[in-house]
């Protein structure tokens, strides 16, 4: 079984694919369980991370309603059967864990590939990085505004952007813009990425793309009442000086 928490929520199992909107608490609970990959998640910790205004002693349904929803998604994806009840294990009196023997999550797969790339020798690093960035299908825990999710989402975005930059730096010149374009999609106001893109276009003699890239940055910054920095303007002017 594969639990997808990147881009759009879904569960894929022998019974098919269960895909729903993520604006209920079942998906954030699965996300929090995924963050506790190697540790049981205490029920009280789930309350503090997901429902801080609820009293665990008085509002027991704040936890059990999302748990029933999450287990329902898993049950449908597996097509029923006893294995469905074993995907979310109860540990001790009041802690829970995703059973890695029965399920995998896309965010675990992505993080494992990123970790493997960091530890890999130069000869195999690029292949692992490519596999990792291909696993990134969108923001982690989308539409989930709990602090734990926001923190995890930003951290993962930074890691993926860094992987894309590494690939751009070590790839053939014609491939570099492709990786950098994807990086700016993830981090649309990060000026250093646009500077790298402009330089990559200039290296290929593609000043039209450099113009469009600079305009793209300007359009993202304008609603924030910002303008491209002097460094970015200088990079742009040097890249397009003769055109």
Q: Which helix (H) or strand (E) holds 198?
A: helix 191-203
82 shares its domain with 110: no
The verdict on 145 and 197 lying in the same domain is yes
Q: Could you tell me which residues come within 8 angstroms of residue 2 by beta carbon, excluding any fewer than 6 positions away?
A: 11, 12, 13, 103, 104, 105, 106
Q: pLDDT at position 84, please?
A: 67
pTM given for the model: 0.91
> What backbone torsions phi and psi does residue 51 show, to the nearest 5 degrees?
-135, 65
Same domain? 27 vs 127? no
Residue 118 to residues 100, 111, 130, 229, Cα–Cα distance (Å): 23, 11, 13, 32
Contact criterion met (CB below 8 Å) for 212 and 171: no
User: Residue 13 and residue 80: Cα distance in Å, rounded?
Assistant: 10
Position 243 confidence tier, pLDDT thresholds 50, 70, 90: low
pLDDT in tens, 158-170: 999 999 999 999 9
Chain centroid to Cα 58, Å, comes to 35
The average pLDDT across 10-29 equals: 86
Comparing 23 with 137, which gets the higher pLDDT?
A: 137
* Contact status, residue 216 vs residue 204, Cβ threshold 8 Å: no
Cα atoms in the 13 Å half-sphere on the side-chain side of 74: 28
Could you tell me the residue range of the domain that residue 161 belongs to? 106-239
The band of 81, judged by pLDDT with boundaries at 50, 70 and 90, is confident
Confidence check: pLDDT of 78 > 90: no
Pair 219, 118 in one domain: yes
**Among residues 26, 20, 147, which one has the least CA distance to residue 87?**
26
Residues 156 and 86 in one domain: no
Residue 18 to residue 13: CA distance in whole angstroms: 8
As a whole number of angstroms, the distance between CA 172 and CA 154 comes to: 29
Which pLDDT score is estimated for 215? 95
CATH number at residue 226: 1.25.40.10
- Relative to beta strand 2-4, strand 104-105 is parallel
Co-location of 98 and 122 in the same domain: no
* Tokens describing residue 95: 């802690």
Are residues 95 and 40 in contact, defined by beta-carbon separation less than 8 angstroms? yes
Question: Which pLDDT belongs to residue 80?
Answer: 77
DSSP 58: T
Q: pLDDT over 90 for what percent of the chain?
A: 84
Same domain? 112 vs 229: yes
Same domain for 124 and 229?
yes
Tokens encoding 241: 């000086």
Sign of CA dihedral 62, 64, 4, 89: positive
Is there a single domain that holds both residue 73 and residue 151?
A: no
Each residue's pLDDT tens digit, 183-217: 999 999 899 999 999 999 999 999 999 999 999 99
**Mean pLDDT on 4-27:** 87
Q: Give exposure, 107-129, as e/b (b: 16+ Cβ within 10 Å).
A: bbebbebbeebeeeeeeebbebb
Q: Which of 73, 104, 135 lies at the terminal end of a domain, its last residue? A: 104
My answer on whether 230 and 133 are in the same domain is yes
Question: If you average pLDDT over residues 87-98, what whole number do you get?
Answer: 94
Q: Which residue has the higher pLDDT, 168 or 80?
A: 168
* pLDDT exceeds cutoff 90 at 79: no
Q: Which CATH number goes with the domain that contains 9?
A: 1.10.10.10
């Amino acid at each position: 079984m594969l639990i997808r928490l990147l881009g759009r929520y879904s569960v894929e199992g022998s019974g098919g694919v269960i895909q729903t909107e993520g604006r209920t608490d079942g998906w954030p609970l699965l996300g929090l369980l995924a963050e506790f990959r190697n540790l049981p998640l205490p029920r009280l910790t789930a309350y503090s991370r997901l429902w801080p205004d609820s009293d665990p002693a008085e509002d027991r349904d704040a936890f059990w309603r999302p748990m029933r929803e999450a287990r329902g998604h898993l049950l449908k994806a597996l097509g029923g059967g006893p294995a469905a009840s074993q995907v979310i294990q109860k540990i001790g009196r009041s802690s829970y864990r995703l059973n890695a023997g029965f399920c995998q999550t896309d965010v675990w797969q992505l993080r494992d590939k990123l970790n493997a790339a960091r530890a890999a020798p130069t000869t195999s690093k690029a292949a692992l990085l490519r596999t990792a960035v291909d696993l990134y299908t969108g923001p982690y825990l989308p539409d989930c505004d709990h602090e734990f999710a926001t923190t995890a989402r930003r951290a993962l975005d930074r890691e993926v952007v860094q992987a894309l930059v590494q690939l751009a730096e070590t790839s053939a010149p014609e491939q570099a813009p492709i990786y950098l374009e994807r990086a700016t999609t993830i981090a649309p106001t990060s000026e250093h990425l646009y500077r790298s893109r402009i330089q990559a276009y200039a290296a290929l003699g593609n000043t039209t793309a450099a113009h469009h890239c600079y305009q793209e940055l300007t359009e993202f910054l304008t609603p924030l009442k910002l303008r491209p920095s002097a460094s970015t303007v200088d990079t742009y002017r040097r890249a397009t000086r003769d055109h």
